[in-house]
Amino acid sequence: MSGRNKPAAAASATFAIRGEYIQLDHLLKAAGLVASGGAAHAEVDAGRVRVDGSVEHRKRAKLRPGQRVDYDGKSVVLEPVVGTGES
């Protein structure tokens, strides 16, 4: 029995992207983490968004599958769109 308090795990979700990348500000809005593009820019400017564990200050940073975005106790892991039905 340990008397240590562990931090709560962040709520995690995946977000499938089409194409090579998605911009950070677009992801924040598309994933429903912020209400608008302006809010996304403000949160990034304030240093409240982390990408792969580091604070990200580039609003339009290009994010690719496999990367993780943390904001407001929530985490989003990017993955490629799979099974588009094309042969």
C-alpha to C-alpha distances, 50 to 23, 47, 57, 61, nearest whole angstrom: 14, 8, 9, 11
Across the range 48-52, mean pLDDT stands at 98
Across the range 15-22, mean pLDDT stands at 95
Instruction: Report the SS3 class of residue 27.
Output: helix
User: What whole-number percentage of the chain has pLDDT above 70?
Assistant: 83
Query: With the C-alpha atoms ordered 55, 12, 76, 34, is the resulting torsion angle positive or negative?
Result: negative
Structural domains in the chain, sorted by start: 11-80 (3.10.290.10)
